[in-house]
Structure 1
Amino acid sequence: MKNVGYQNASLCWQAARECSVETNSKGAILTERACGTRHYLNATAAIVYLLCDKCHSTEDIAGFIAEQFSLENLPIDDVQGALDQLQAKGLIQRG
């Protein structure tokens, strides 16, 4: 997937807390460095989180997932749901 690199950073997602990331066959474990709280992510949520790098919008992330899983349609609603959950936990925020 091409990195779109939006000029408007407010459209892009980024990590809100400093976490260490341990990937495994089921997804990822995020450990907040400040408090040690662990968050367990399934494979799709892990991809979504890892793409919250100040360079990807919701549409970019959905496009990447559609490409990786050979989906005909962009999974915007599913990606938005994952982003909402990550944001509710304070793990990500808009750029």
Structure 2
Amino acid sequence: MTIKEITKGYQDEVSFQKKMLQNLQYWLQFFLTIGAIGFVLGYYFYQKTTWLFIIGTIMTGIGVIGALIIAYGRHRGKQNVKLIIADYQKKIATLKNK
């Protein structure tokens, strides 16, 4: 393989990983919204309407747990992109020395 082919492959991979990180950002916003709506329901309907309070509490729990999982996935994805870039730089340095 030539350096040009390797560079193209790594550029494709990094752009794909960044697109997936953006998708995770959308999901993070979704779960934070669900959690916020649940919090408002729970806060507003506390001791007024029991079933809406329960729904709000459940939505808050789902939103928080979902946001934590997605945030962890984004963190690991960013680390993965950094590893891919470091591996690319190492391979290019090795090929240029030969």
Does TM, normalized by the shorter one, top 0.5?
A: no
Name whichever structure is richer in strand by fraction.
1
Name whichever structure is richer in helix by fraction.
2
Provide TM-score, normalisation by structure 2: 0.28
Provide TM-score, normalisation by structure 1: 0.29
